[in-house]
């Protein structure tokens, strides 16, 4: 019995599923880790979907022309900063409705990437490809059953993601920056009296969020697939928003929740390969249905930062006449 | 790090401070000064400009003109953190704390001296224990702020200011959330602090407290200083005249409610659990008679908000029943209760009472939009809405330009009048008035009280929930004290006195 | 305090100010359109095409002939009808991003009814199909609000998820149970003549759905501004706590605004299926449910504004393909301009901020 279980756990089919789970989880995880920063600082980023798709295209195009995936990712980071600044300007400085702006920005970004892809590559029958990042198998550790394939048979970008999860936890719970971010998101007025520059903190947070979302998007095109497809994020930015709620704005919670979704995605892809009698459409639906179901369980007990979505007016502004 | 309370002596002077909000002058050439080891009381009614002046000192607002001197040296206060570096610490009326973080983290947010970028929380905690012991503040620095009582949170604010090196401590209306006994404790802390050479600016509109704690008194009225005197040279009566411009018209002559007056509202063992499953109301019993004002005294946070919401039908009690005129309304929606004759003047009027971004007219019909003559067959009758609104604006003297302007453009007092006009024009039988004069100036408060008494004269029952003991004593026929979700005692107007009510507010029943 | 004449003057002044505000509001929509077109011109120039030629081709394609006008209006139909639905939901602060899925399901069930009763008289069959589409759209949207009310689940995320679910579900249906026998394509059999919307302009495809759209815009305007329901939607959207305390059934307001929104999306689906495709196909909508969101925003959540914005976007989309054939600018450039319009519109406050800053700088310099 136990022998059977062990041989199943170490079988190549199951190991393939496990590696794929993490690979599919990484983009959502990166975006949701980014979301921790901005939401904890009190601004929402409904535009994650848009940030991701821009990251996908930028990463792909620059990798394609430069021949280096890392330069592509660097370019995606740059675009992430730019998008973060734009979103910061709208949501922090102009104080527009954050939901409305986020939705509109997503639509804009999808339109933008489709247009640019078309301009850059024209209409071709064989879509351009790049060589995706190689898998780095870490010796010894990768041999641990279950955990090995999940964690230690991944691309370099995945390892960077783990480090980012750890760094985020340290920043949020141990550093002065994390305290500033949490203060800005819970009680911005109080934060300001304690010497926290709420506006600047929020700008930094949304820029970090933009960068991480953009890398998440770039992961899809440069590490997972090696190609760009219109609208290839397919709602992952919105799923990342749900992951934040499910993971309770905690880096490790987000890690686990994203992995769950990666597993669901991997499961449906594998099942498609096996040609069961289930129509593929129902399999593709699986992550979206899972997202709704899990949200139902977590939404009531999860507590969002108190000032989330509320623009901040500096008290001193009124006297500047 | 700044050593807390060095022996260095500090004095502060503000001269000719002027602050304008648009065309409104909040501070008009105000002068104050306070010496080391001294307590200065800043006395004035709501809207007199006390808080604005202190926000200037705290670096939150920059004045249009004026000079500030600390130890004879002129300073420009650039930001809140700069103000703290100058030795000024402010305890705001609404606490400036992050409820999800620990006391220690709250104290050192934004302070690079605690360690940057990784603050040494352990060290901060140890330092806090020392300061806390020295001043007898009794605070556990590891505690998460949201789990602490209001009184403790206030002490956390004081601790925070001291840790940040405050030598001039500003306390903005600190007693409004305390029981008389807790207030006594706070005064002990203040005296101890001034004894150590610290200066305290005590902001209040309560004459008795000002007379008790201060050395000097500066009185503000409508943004101007009307007096600057030593405590020994004045008395409560003179201060009152200086504060409001005329003598208080205390003690109304109202007919007592006949003892045989019939019961209008009966609240029968209401229990309510909050989101965290903690009991907020615990088998609470209460009655209100026809033609009676029943005052509910108590320290903020003892279930008053929930009591009002449960009565209004916004919250569902977990057990117990509510009767209006003998009818069980426990299961009725807010709308049905309104139809049954209930009126609700909420404590947070901007959130619960009004829709700030729509017109006055649309605010007037908030409760009656589905009923004739406001609408017929689901279609609004704008002529009727306009005419009724204009009439109400006239009757309640709401200062406005047009019925089409939004509620947000009205002053606080006029917003409250808008709520009163809407509620009372429906001819209710039972009125819940939650902190009806909060944030209003003397004139508006007077107006609200008169309207409430008018309703009482009409034979309606009123439940007045207030943390202001003055208001409770002035209006109530009977006074009950709420403590931790229970009514501890109900006293008639004749036997109730401040001391007894004050003790009850702290939960002491054996007196 | 004031004498009567003064009071009168103040009120007049206030009215003047209000009128100016309304004009500025309309102006900001128009300004956003113009600015986006200018930015679009720069992009077109960068592609090596004369922007004037491109825009001439665009306008020609959208409004040049009777047929192009008809096509423009035809395209405006799903955008306007879905847009007024989204208007109602957004006014109640219910962020329905699920119109796309509601439209797909509405179209499918309308076609199913049409296929089930091919011989029924059009006067009965078409309304039946419309009702089926509306009910389906409404129910699909309603689920998201029920989840919000019951579990506090975010309706915006859920409606997005439900779009994917609906579109895959419809894809399965048209490849499976309701696929046209013998066809390899993802589509149903064609509708009978009785189930097809009558044409109102000869030699074009403009069908009666356009007239119904105009009527629905009027009706929605009436509902939002003149009825108790519309009033309750507006105040609940602004402050649900005060509305609830005042006895308004806010849960019903949330639910009903979404039901209305979903019904409109379903109706749009019915128009597309019964008016244009004459069957259900896998890709019945090219993102109308999403474009309708920006149409609603640009129309400032006012049904009449939404209609104008829908016609504008319809014209841009129809003119885009003419532009592509005439001067070689990809049609997706117009999609970009569309969304740019809305981004600029949302950020309109930036212009007044910048002007303020410039004035201040000038003051400092002087």
Lowest mean pLDDT among B23-37, B95-109, B251-265, C294-308: B251-265
Q: Is the pLDDT of residue A300 over 90?
A: no
Specify the higher pLDDT residue, B467 or A90.
Answer: A90
Q: Is the pLDDT of residue C1 over 50?
A: no
Question: DSSP 3-state assignment of B34?
Answer: strand
Tracing tokens 């989330």 back to the chain, one arrives at A308
Helix A48-66 vs helix A12-40: crossing angle, to nearest 10? 120
Q: Considering only CB atoms, which chain C residues are within 8 Å of A282?
A: 168, 172
Q: What is the mean pLDDT of residues A58-64?
A: 95
Lowest mean pLDDT among A35-49, A251-265, B15-29, B370-384: B15-29
Domain segments of chain A as ranges? 20-122+137-303
Q: A residues 112-151 near C, CB within 8 Å?
A: 112, 114-115, 118-119
Q: What is the mean pLDDT of residues A259-287?
A: 88
> ipTM score here?
0.89
Q: Is the pLDDT of residue A320 over 70?
A: no
Q: A54 with A112: CB under 8 angstroms? A: yes
Longest CA–CA span in chain A (Å) reads 79
Tell me the percentage of chain B whose pLDDT exceeds 70.
Answer: 95
Of A103, A281, A299, nearest to C171 by CB-CB distance is A281
Give A20-122+137-303's CATH code, choosing from 1.20.1070.10, 3.40.50.970, 3.20.20.70, 1.10.3470.10: 1.10.3470.10
**Using one digit for the tens of pLDDT, what is the confidence trace for A129-175?**
888 888 888 888 888 888 888 888 899 999 999 999 999 999 999 99
pLDDT band at residue B81 under the 50/70/90 scheme: confident
Same domain? B62 vs B207? yes
Q: What is the mean pLDDT of residues A223-230?
A: 89
Specify the higher pLDDT residue, A271 or A65.
Answer: A65
Tokens read off for A161:
């993601």
Domain for residue B351, yes or no?
no
Q: Inform me whether the C-beta atom of residue A196 falls under 8 Å from chain B C-beta atoms.
A: yes
pLDDT of residue C365: 67
Q: How many CB atoms lie within 10 A of CB B276?
A: 6
Q: Inform me whether the C-beta atom of residue C238 falls under 8 Å from chain B C-beta atoms.
A: yes
Q: Inform me whether the C-beta atom of residue C4 falls under 8 Å from chain B C-beta atoms.
A: no
Q: Considering only CB atoms, which chain A residues are within 8 Å of C175?
A: 279, 281
Q: What is the DSSP letter of B119?
A: -
Please answer yes or no on whether C247 and B335 come within 8 Å at the CB atom.
yes
Q: What is the mean pLDDT of residues A56-85?
A: 95
What is the domain extent for residue B376?
356-426
Q: Considering only CB atoms, which chain B residues are within 8 Å of A320?
A: 62
Same domain? B288 vs B319? yes
Specify the higher pLDDT residue, B243 or A60.
Answer: A60
Measured between CA atoms, the residue of chain C closest to residue A279 is C172
Give the fold, CATH level 3, of C32-345.
Answer: ABC transporter involved in vitamin B12 uptake, BtuC (1.10.3470)
Q: B residues 68-87 near A, CB within 8 Å?
A: 79-81, 84
pLDDT band at residue C357 under the 50/70/90 scheme: confident
On the question of a cis peptide bond just before residue A162, with omega within 30 degrees of 0, the verdict is: no
Edge-to-edge strand order for the sheet containing B486-492? B342-345, B430-434, B461-465, B293-297, B478-483, B486-492
Of A104, A108, A299, nearest to C154 by CB-CB distance is A299
Q: What is the CA radius of gyration of chain B?
A: 24
pLDDT band at residue C332 under the 50/70/90 scheme: confident
Domain for residue B348, yes or no?
no
Q: B299 with B468: CB under 8 angstroms? A: no
| Listed residue (A33, A230, A197) closest to A112, CA to CA | A230
Element (H, E) at B276: none
For residues B147 and B276, give the distance between their C-alpha atoms in angstroms, rounded to a whole number.
Answer: 12
Please answer yes or no on whether A93 and C353 come within 8 Å at the CB atom.
yes
pLDDT band at residue C119 under the 50/70/90 scheme: very high
Tell me the percentage of chain C whose pLDDT exceeds 70.
Answer: 97
Domain for residue B350, yes or no?
no
Lowest mean pLDDT among A161-175, A221-235, C2-16: C2-16
Q: Is the pLDDT of residue B231 over 80?
A: yes
Q: B466 with B295: CB under 8 angstroms? A: yes
CA distance A319 to chain B (A): 6
Please answer yes or no on whether A306 and B99 come within 8 Å at the CB atom.
yes
**Using one digit for the tens of pLDDT, what is the confidence trace for C253-262?**
999 999 999 9
Tokens read off for A232:
């290839």
The residue among C36, C39, C79, C165 with the most chain A CBs within 10 A of its CB, best to mutate, is: C165
Q: What is the mean pLDDT of residues C28-36?
A: 88
Same domain? B80 vs B148? yes
Q: Write the DSSP assignment of B170-214 as a string of letters.
A: EEESGGGGS-HHHHHHHHHHHHHHHHTT-EEEEEES-HHHHHHH-
pLDDT of residue B278: 84
CA distance A157 to chain B (A): 27
Measured between CA atoms, the residue of chain A closest to residue B80 is A193
pLDDT of residue A13: 83
Measured between CA atoms, the residue of chain B closest to residue A201 is B110
For residues C269 and B67, give the distance between their C-alpha atoms in angstroms, rounded to a whole number.
Answer: 69
Q: What is the DSSP letter of B432?
A: E
Please answer yes or no on whether B80 and A174 come within 8 Å at the CB atom.
no
pLDDT of residue A195: 87
pLDDT of residue B429: 94
Per-chain mean pLDDT for chain C: 92
Please answer yes or no on whether A175 and B118 come within 8 Å at the CB atom.
yes
Q: Residue C98: which residues within 8 A CB-CB, separation 6 or more?
A: C140, C141, C144, C158, C159, C160, C162, C163, C166, C262, C265, C289
Q: C103 with C266: CB under 8 angstroms? A: yes
Q: A31 with A220: CB under 8 angstroms? A: no
Q: What is the mean pLDDT of residues B388-407?
A: 91
Q: Is the pLDDT of residue C20 over 90?
A: no
Same domain? B360 vs B500? no
Same domain? B37 vs B145? yes
Helix C122-151 vs helix C99-116: crossing angle, to nearest 10? 140
Q: Inform me whether the C-beta atom of residue C251 falls under 8 Å from chain B C-beta atoms.
A: no
Q: C91 with C233: CB under 8 angstroms? A: yes
For residues B423 and C233, give the distance between their C-alpha atoms in angstroms, rounded to a whole number.
Answer: 21
Q: B172 with B186: CB under 8 angstroms? A: no
> What number of H helices and E strands is found in chain C?
14, 0
Q: B471 with B301: CB under 8 angstroms? A: no
Q: What is the mean pLDDT of residues C20-35?
A: 84
Please answer yes or no on whether C342 and A284 come within 8 Å at the CB atom.
no
What CATH number has the domain bearing residue B209? Answer: 3.40.50.300
Please answer yes or no on whether B98 and A176 come within 8 Å at the CB atom.
no
Q: What is the mean pLDDT of residues C263-277?
A: 97
pLDDT band at residue B247 under the 50/70/90 scheme: low
Tokens read off for C125:
């069959």
The residue among B19, B65, B88, B117 with the most chain A CBs within 10 A of its CB, best to mutate, is: B117
pLDDT of residue B10: 67
Outline where DSSP puts E strands in B349-485: 375-376, 379-380, 430-434, 461-465, 478-483
Q: B207 with B195: CB under 8 angstroms? A: no
Q: Is the pLDDT of residue B451 over 80?
A: yes
Q: Is the pLDDT of residue A315 over 60?
A: no
Domain segments of chain C as ranges? 32-345
Q: What is the mean pLDDT of residues A180-187?
A: 95
Domain for residue B1, yes or no?
no
Per-chain mean pLDDT for chain B: 88
Q: Is the pLDDT of residue C5 over 70?
A: no
Out of B426, B455, B479, pick the residue that ends a domain: B426
Chains A–B, number of C-beta pairs less than 8 Å apart: 86
Element (H, E) at A160: helix A156-174
Q: What is the mean pLDDT of residues A218-233?
A: 91
Measured between CA atoms, the residue of chain C closest to residue A108 is C339
Tell me the percentage of chain A whose pLDDT exceeds 90.
Answer: 65
Out of B379, B410, B426, pick the residue that ends a domain: B426
CA distance B486 to chain C (A): 24
**Using one digit for the tens of pLDDT, what is the confidence trace for B19-54?**
987 767 889 999 999 998 999 999 887 778 888 898
Same domain? B422 vs B441? no
Edge-to-edge strand order for the sheet containing B12-21? B24-34, B12-21, B65-70, B73-75
Question: DSSP 3-state assignment of A195?
Answer: coil
Total number of domains in chain B: 3
Q: Inform me whether the C-beta atom of residue B97 falls under 8 Å from chain A C-beta atoms.
A: yes
Of B339, B380, B399, nearest to C226 by CB-CB distance is B380
Please answer yes or no on whether B352 and C245 come within 8 Å at the CB atom.
yes
Q: Inform me whether the C-beta atom of residue C164 falls under 8 Å from chain A C-beta atoms.
A: yes
Element (H, E) at B65: strand B65-70
Q: What is the mean pLDDT of residues A224-232?
A: 89
| Listed residue (C228, C247, C256) closest to B332, CA to CA | C247
Specify the higher pLDDT residue, B390 or C352.
Answer: B390
pLDDT band at residue C2 under the 50/70/90 scheme: very low
Measured between CA atoms, the residue of chain A closest to residue C166 is A285
The residue among A40, A181, A183 with the most chain B CBs within 10 A of its CB, best to mutate, is: A183
| CA-to-CA separations, B355 to B365, B419, B422, in angstroms, rounded | 11, 11, 13
Q: What is the mean pLDDT of residues B439-462?
A: 89
Please answer yes or no on whether B380 and C242 come within 8 Å at the CB atom.
no
For residues A223 and C89, give the distance between their C-alpha atoms in angstroms, rounded to a whole number.
Answer: 40
pLDDT of residue B239: 83
CA distance B507 to chain C (A): 31
Tracing tokens 């969304």 back to the chain, one arrives at C339
Tell me the percentage of chain B whose pLDDT exceeds 90.
Answer: 54
Please answer yes or no on whether C336 and A112 come within 8 Å at the CB atom.
yes
Q: B330 with B482: CB under 8 angstroms? A: no
pLDDT of residue A319: 28
Q: B137 with B189: CB under 8 angstroms? A: yes
pLDDT of residue C6: 59
- The pTM is what? 0.90
Number of residues assigned to chain A: 321
On the question of a cis peptide bond just before residue C42, with omega within 30 degrees of 0, the verdict is: no
Specify the higher pLDDT residue, B206 or B41.
Answer: B41
pLDDT of residue B505: 84
pLDDT band at residue A10 under the 50/70/90 scheme: confident
Specify the higher pLDDT residue, B376 or B81.
Answer: B376
Q: Considering only CB atoms, which chain A residues are within 8 Å of B117?
A: 175-177
pLDDT of residue B243: 80
Q: What is the mean pLDDT of residues C75-95?
A: 96
Q: A residues 54-93 near C, CB within 8 Å?
A: 89-90, 93
For residues A138 and A146, give the distance between their C-alpha atoms in angstroms, rounded to a whole number.
Answer: 14
Same domain? B318 vs B302? yes
Tokens read off for C91:
């006014």
Tracing tokens 């379903």 back to the chain, one arrives at C266
pLDDT of residue B252: 61
The residue among C93, C159, C168, C237 with the most chain A CBs within 10 A of its CB, best to mutate, is: C168
**Using one digit for the tens of pLDDT, what is the confidence trace for B321-339?**
999 999 999 999 999 999 9
Q: Write the DSSP assignment of C84-149 as a string of letters.
A: HHHHHHHHTT-----HHHHHHHHHHHHHHHHHH-TTS-HHHHHHHHHHHHHHHHHHHHHHHHHHHH
pLDDT band at residue B5 under the 50/70/90 scheme: very low
Q: What is the mean pLDDT of residues C235-241?
A: 95
Q: B residues 310-369 near C, CB within 8 Å?
A: 312, 314, 333-339, 344, 346, 351-358, 362, 365-367, 369
Q: Considering only CB atoms, which chain B residues are within 8 Å of A190?
A: 95-98
Please answer yes or no on whether A103 and C95 come within 8 Å at the CB atom.
yes
């Amino acid at each position: 019995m136990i022998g059977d279980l062990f041989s199943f756990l170490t079988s190549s089919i199951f190991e393939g599923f496990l590696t794929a789970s993490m690979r599919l989880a990484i983009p959502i995880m990166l975006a949701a880790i980014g979301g921790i920063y901005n939401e904890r600082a009190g601004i929402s980023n409904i535009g994650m979907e848009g940030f991701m798709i821009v990251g996908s295209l930028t990463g792909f195009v620059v990798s394609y022309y430069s021949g280096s995936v890392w330069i592509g990712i660097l370019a995606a980071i740059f675009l992430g900063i730019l998008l973060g600044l734009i979103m910061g300007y709208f949501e922090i400085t102009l104080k527009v409705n954050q939901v409305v702006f986020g939705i509109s920005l997503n639509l804009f970004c999808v339109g933008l990437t489709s247009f640019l892809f078309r301009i850059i590559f024209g209409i071709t029958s064989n879509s351009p490809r790049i060589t995706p990042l190689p898998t780095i198998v870490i010796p010894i550790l990768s041999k641990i059953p279950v955990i090995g394939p999940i964690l230690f048979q991944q691309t370099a970008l995945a390892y960077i993601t783990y480090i980012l999860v750890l760094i985020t936890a340290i920043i949020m719970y141990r550093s002065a920056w994390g305290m500033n971010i949490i203060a800005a998101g819970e009680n911005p007025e109080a934060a300001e009296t304690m010497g926290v520059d709420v506006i600047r903190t929020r700008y930094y947070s949304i820029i970090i969020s933009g960068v991480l979302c953009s890398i998440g998007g770039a992961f899809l095109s440069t590490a997972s697939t090696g190609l760009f497809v219109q609208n290839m994020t397919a709602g992952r930015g919105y799923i990342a928003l749900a992951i934040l709620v499910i993971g309770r704005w905690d880096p490790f919670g987000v890690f686990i929740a994203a992995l769950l979704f990666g597993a669901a995605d991997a499961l449906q892809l594998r099942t498609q390969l096996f040609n069961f009698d289930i129509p593929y459409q129902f399999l593709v639906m699986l992550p979206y249905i899972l997202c709704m179901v899990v949200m139902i369980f977590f939404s009531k007990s999860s507590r969002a930062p108190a000032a989330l979505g509320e623009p901040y007016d500096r008290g001193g502004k009124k006297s500047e006449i | 790090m700044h050593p807390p309370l060095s022996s260095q002596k500090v004095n502060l002077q503000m001269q000719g401070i002027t602050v304008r909000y648009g065309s409104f002058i909040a501070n008009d050439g105000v002068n104050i000064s306070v010496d080391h080891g001294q307590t200065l009381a800043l006395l004035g009614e709501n809207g007199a400009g006390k808080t604005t002046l202190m926000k200037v000192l705290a670096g939150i607002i920059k004045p249009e003109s004026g000079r500030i001197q600390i130890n004879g040296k002129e300073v420009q206060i650039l930001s809140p953190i700069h103000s703290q570096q100058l030795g000024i610490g402010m305890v705001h009326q609404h606490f400036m704390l992050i409820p999800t973080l620990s006391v220690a983290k709250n104290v050192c947010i934004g302070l690079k001296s605690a360690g940057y970028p990784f603050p040494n929380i352990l060290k901060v905690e140890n330092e806090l224990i020392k300061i806390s012991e020295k001043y007898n503040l009794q605070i556990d620095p590891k505690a998460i702020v949201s789990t602490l009582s209001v009184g403790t949170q206030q002490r956390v604010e004081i601790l925070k200011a001291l840790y940040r090196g405050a030598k001039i401590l500003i306390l903005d209306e600190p007693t409004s959330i305390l029981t008389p006994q807790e207030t006594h404790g706070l005064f002990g802390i203040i005296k101890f602090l001034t004894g150590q050479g610290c200066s305290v600016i005590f902001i209040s509109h309560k004459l008795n407290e000002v007379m008790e704690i201060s050395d000097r008194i500066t009185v503000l009225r409508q943004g101007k200083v009307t007096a600057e005197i030593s405590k020994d040279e004045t008395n409560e009566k003179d201060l009152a005249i200086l504060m409001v411009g005329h003598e208080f018209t205390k003690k109304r002559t109202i007919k007592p409610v006949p003892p045989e007056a019939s019961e209008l509202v009966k609240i029968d063992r209401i229990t309510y659990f909050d989101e965290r499953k903690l009991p907020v109301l615990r088998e609470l019993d209460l009655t209100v008679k026809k033609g009676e004002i029943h005052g509910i005294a108590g320290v903020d946070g003892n279930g008053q908000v929930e009591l009002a919401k449960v009565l209004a039908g916004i919250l569902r009690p977990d057990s117990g029943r509510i009767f209006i005129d003998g009818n069980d309304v426990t299961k009725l929606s807010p709308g049905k209760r309104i139809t049954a004759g209930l009126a609700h003047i909420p404590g947070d009027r901007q959130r619960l009472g009004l829709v700030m971004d729509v017109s006055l007219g649309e605010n007037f019909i908030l409760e009656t939009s589905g009923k004739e003559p406001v609408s017929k067959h689901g279609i609004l009758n704008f002529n009727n809405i306009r005419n009724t609104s204009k009439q109400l604006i006239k009757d309640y003297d709401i200062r406005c330009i047009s019925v089409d302007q939004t509620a947000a453009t009205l002053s606080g007092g006029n917003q409250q009048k808008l709520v009163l006009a809407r509620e009372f024009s429906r001819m209710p039988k039972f009125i819940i008035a939650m902190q009806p004069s909060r944030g209003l100036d003397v004139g508006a408060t007077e107006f609200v009280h008169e309207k409430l008494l008018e309703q009482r004269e009409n034979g309606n029952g009123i439940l007045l929930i207030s943390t202001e003991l003055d208001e409770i004593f002035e209006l109530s026929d009977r006074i009950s004290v709420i403590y931790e979700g229970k009514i501890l005692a109900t006293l008639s107007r004749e036997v109730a006195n401040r001391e007894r009510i004050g003790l009850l507010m702290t939960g002491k029943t054996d007196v | 305090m004031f004498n009567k004449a003064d009071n009168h003057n103040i009120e007049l002044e206030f009215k003047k100010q209000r009128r100016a505000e309304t004009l500025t509001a309309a102006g900001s929509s128009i300004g956003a359109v113009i600015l986006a077109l200018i930015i679009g011109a720069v992009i077109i120039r960068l592609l090596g095409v004369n922007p004037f030629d491109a825009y001439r081709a665009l306008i020609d394609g959208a409004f040049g002939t009777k047929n192009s006008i008809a096509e423009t209006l035809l395209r405006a139909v799903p955008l306007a009808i879905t847009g007024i639905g989204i208007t109602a939901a957004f006014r109640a602060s219910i962020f329905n991003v699920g119109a796309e899925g509601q439209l797909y399901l509405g179209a499918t069930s309308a076609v199913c009814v049409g296929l089930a009763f091919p011989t029924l008289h059009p006067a009965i069959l078409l309304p039946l199909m419309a009702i089926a589409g509306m009910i389906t759209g409404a129910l699909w949207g309603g689920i998201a609000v029920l989840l919000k009310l019951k579990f506090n689940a975010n309706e915006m995320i859920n409606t997005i998820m439900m779009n994917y679910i609906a579109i895959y579900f419809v894809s399965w249906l048209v490849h499976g149970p309701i696929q046209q026998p013998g066809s390899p394509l993802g589509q149903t059999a064609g509708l009978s003549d009785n189930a097809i919307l009558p044409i109102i302009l000869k030699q074009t495809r403009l069908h009666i759905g356009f007239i119904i759209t105009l009527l629905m815009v009027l009706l929605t305007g009436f509902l939002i501004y003149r009825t108790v329901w519309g009033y309750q939607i507006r105040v609940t959207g602004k402050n649900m706590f005060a509305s609830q305390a005042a006895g308004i059934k806010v849960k019903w307001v949330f639910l009903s605004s979404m039901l209305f929104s979903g019904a409109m999306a379903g109706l749009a689906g019915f128009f597309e299926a019964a008016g244009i495709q004459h069957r259900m196909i896998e890709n019945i909508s090219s993102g109308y449910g999403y474009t309708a969101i920006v149409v609603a925003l640009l129309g400032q959540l006012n049904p009449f504004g939404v209609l104008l914005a829908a016609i504008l976007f319809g014209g841009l989309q129809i003119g885009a393909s003419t532009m592509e054939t005439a001067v070689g600018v990809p049609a997706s450039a117009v999609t970009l301009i569309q969304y740019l319009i809305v981004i600029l519109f949302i950020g309109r406050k930036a212009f007044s901020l910048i002007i303020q800053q410039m004035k201040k700088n000038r003051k400092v310099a002087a």
